[in-house]
Structure 1
Amino acid sequence: MSHFSHIIFDLDGTLTDNTQGIKNSLKYALDKMQVDGYSEDIIDKFIGPPLQWGFSNLFGLNERNTRLAVEYFREYYSENGWHQNDPYDGILEMMAELDSMGKKMYVATAKFEKFANRIIEHFEMDKYIVQVKGADYNGKKAEKDGIISAVLKTNQLLPSSDIVMVGDTVFDISGGKENDLSTIAVGYGFGIEEELRKENPDFFADDVEELFEILSA
């Protein structure tokens, strides 16, 4: 049974559903880059991983064009995309309950840190979150294992099974494991269940209610 004292959440696909904001920002960037002929399936795969990884691996852009596409993405996202977003049903209530139980909560996201903080404050999650750690502007620190490690270091936390990483993609689960933490994969976000289960997370939550049961045990 779990007894987690510290909880590190991913943001997109775990706390909030930002599908529309990311899709609109991506389509804006691809239009600016004159990239067409792509499928909706590729757009779905874009949500979750770092932007640089998505533009490079899914759309085959070289390093220079990847940097330019990221700039265009952020241009739209900073004005419109960030608020085309909503917390999943039950998330705010879950965080309030976990906070009342004395659980310490953090956010580790591949999203640009400025946007992540803006979203957390907009939905008033900041009253529950000790720290939000995101990617730096140039994307050189966008790998999830490094972001999680930075949260641990900043808060003087030693790797422990009492600390859990919660996320919806393989990057979240592998990042948690690389930092010797417990892991929970959530099935309601953007990840593919089969791929998530191959990462052997310690727990799998199909919905927010089940996630709360695991975290509050």
Structure 2
Amino acid sequence: MKFKLVIFDLDGTLMNTSPGIFDSANKAMVQLGRQPESDVKQLSKFIGPPIIQCFKNTYNLEDEFIEQAVANYRVEYSLHGQYNAVAYPQIIETLAQLKERGYLLAVGTLKHEELATNMMQYFELAPFFSSIRGADMGSKLTKADIVKNVLSDLKIDPSDAVLIGDTTHDLIGAKDSGVKFVAVDYGFGFPRGQQPIEGMLKVISSPGELLTFLG
């Protein structure tokens, strides 16, 4: 199946952003007078969903404290956390080869759009992408909304695009936006050895496998 556009999720797909995310989330909670979370499995719930849901899922935080927690987190992550990340092995080579083969590349993430753009620039990945789209400040956009924004930017039909991601939020976003979906099992959501389920074209265990699959 040939595509024109490959859309990448950011956290857990392009980059291992967990150190900066976990640290910023815990600092946000400490500023509220709460205990930080030390269990990595529990902290992993913070990656994938919209940020409001992240605080509920990970810390069981009451609704009245969510707004302040999000504000605390965004300050910490903007100042420090976003720089505490690393691209997954083979990502740069994979992006370069896909671009050389004529694919349009984009980022579609539930991370705030300005942060996503800043990170792609800081880690020198931005030149690979023709569109970088993310969440709004109110976290009202769904993954499907963000994917549709990418499609609109590049004037690409959904049937000509595929989303690469590591969580069920990506899977649902692909389905709801009409694009195909390839799962990765090296990120934060799908476990190693994940078998394809409905809605998944394929599951890959390293970025390099995408080159073979897409051709």
TM norm structure 2:
0.92
Contact 1:170–1:195 (8 Å) recurs in 2: no
Measure, in 2, the Cα distance between the counterparts of 1:23 and 1:57: 13
One-letter amino acid matched to 2:174: G
Give, in angstroms, the shift of residue 173 of structure 1.
1.1
Question: Partner of 1:91 in structure 2?
Answer: 91
Give, in angstroms, the shift of residue 39 of structure 1.
5.2
One-letter amino acid matched to 1:171: H
More off after superposition, 180-189 vs 191-200: 191-200
More off after superposition, 84-93 vs 206-215: 206-215
Question: Partner of 1:187 in structure 2?
Answer: 185
Contact 1:174–1:199 (8 Å) recurs in 2: no
Contact 2:26–2:37 (8 Å) recurs in 1: no
1:145-156 pair list within 5 angstroms:
145-156=144-155
The SS at the match of 1:58 is helix
Contact 1:186–1:211 (8 Å) recurs in 2: no
Give, in angstroms, the shift of residue 213 of structure 1.
1.6
Question: Partner of 2:210 in structure 1?
Answer: 211
Contact 1:148–1:179 (8 Å) recurs in 2: yes
One-letter amino acid matched to 1:71: A
Measure, in 1, the Cα distance between the counterparts of 2:56 and 2:194: 21
Structure 1 vs Structure 2 CA RMSD: 1.8
TM norm structure 1:
0.91
More off after superposition, 59-68 vs 191-200: 191-200
Give, in angstroms, the shift of residue 79 of structure 1.
0.8
In structure 2, the gaps of 5 or more residues are none
Give, in angstroms, the shift of residue 56 of structure 1.
2.4
Deviations 1:3-42 (A, max 9, x none): 1210010001000111100011011011112222745121
Give percent identity, aligned residues only: 33
Give, in angstroms, the shift of residue 211 of structure 1.
2.2
Deviations 1:173-214 (A, max 9, x none): 110111111100001000133888445411110112212222
Shift in alpha-carbon separation, 1:6–1:137, aligned structure 2, 3 A: same
The SS at the match of 2:26 is helix
Shift in alpha-carbon separation, 1:39–1:126, aligned structure 2, 3 A: closer
1:98-137 pair list within 5 angstroms:
98-137=98-137
Measure, in 1, the Cα distance between the counterparts of 2:104 and 2:50: 25
One-letter amino acid matched to 2:190: I
Shift in alpha-carbon separation, 1:31–1:169, aligned structure 2, 3 A: same
Give, in angstroms, the shift of residue 146 of structure 1.
1.2
Measure, in 2, the Cα distance between the counterparts of 1:15 and 1:113: 15
In structure 1, the gaps of 5 or more residues are none
